[in-house]
Amino acid sequence: MSARTAIVVLATGRAGGTARGDAFSAVLEQPLQRSTMLGTTLRHALAAEWPLLLVTTPSLAHMASRWIATRDIVALDDAELARGRGRALAMAVAERADADGWVVLPAERPLVRPSTLRAVGTALATHAVAHAQHRGQRGEPTGYAAELFSELIALDGDDAPRRLAARYPAAVVEVDDPGVLVDAASDEGMTLARAAAADVA
Which range has the worst mean pLDDT, 25-29, 78-82, 183-187, 193-197?
193-197
The answer to whether the beta carbons of residues 185 and 19 sit under 8 Å apart is yes
The answer to whether the beta carbons of residues 148 and 161 sit under 8 Å apart is no
Distance between CA 178 and CA 196 in Å, rounded? 9
Does 149 have pLDDT greater than 70? yes
The share of the chain scoring above pLDDT 90, in percent, equals: 81
Rounded mean pLDDT, 100-112:
97
Tens digits of per-residue pLDDT, 36-80? 999 999 999 999 999 999 999 999 999 999 999 999 999 999 999
Q: Dihedrals φ, ψ of 124, to 5°?
A: -70, -10
State the pLDDT confidence band at 139, using cuts at 50, 70 and 90. very high
The share of the chain scoring above pLDDT 70, in percent, equals: 93
The answer to whether the beta carbons of residues 179 and 113 sit under 8 Å apart is yes
Distance between CA 173 and CA 139 in Å, rounded? 10
CA distance to 34, 52, 161, 199, per residue, from 175 (Å): 25, 21, 22, 19
Domains of the chain are 6-200 (3.90.550.10)
DSSP string covering the chain: --TTSEEEEEES--TTSSS-HHHHHHHHTSEETTEEHHHHHHHHHHHTTS-EEEEE-HHHHHHHTTTS-GGGEEE--HHHHTTHHHHHHHHHHHHTTT-SEEEEEETT-TT--HHHHHHHHHHTTT-SEEEEEETTEEEEEEEEEGGGHHHHTT--STTHHHHHHHTSPEEEEE-S-GGGG--TTSHHHHHHHHHHHHHH-
Q: What residues form DSSP beta bridges with 31?
A: 36
Tens digits of per-residue pLDDT, 158-192? 999 999 999 999 999 999 999 999 999 888 889 98
* Whole-prediction pTM: 0.93
In 3D space, the residue among 60, 63, 69 whose CA is nearest the CA of residue 13 turns out to be 60
Stronger pLDDT, 25 or 52, i.e. the higher one = 52
CA distance to 130, 143, 199, 200, per residue, from 14 (Å): 22, 19, 30, 29
Does 111 have pLDDT greater than 80? yes
Residue 197's pLDDT is 73
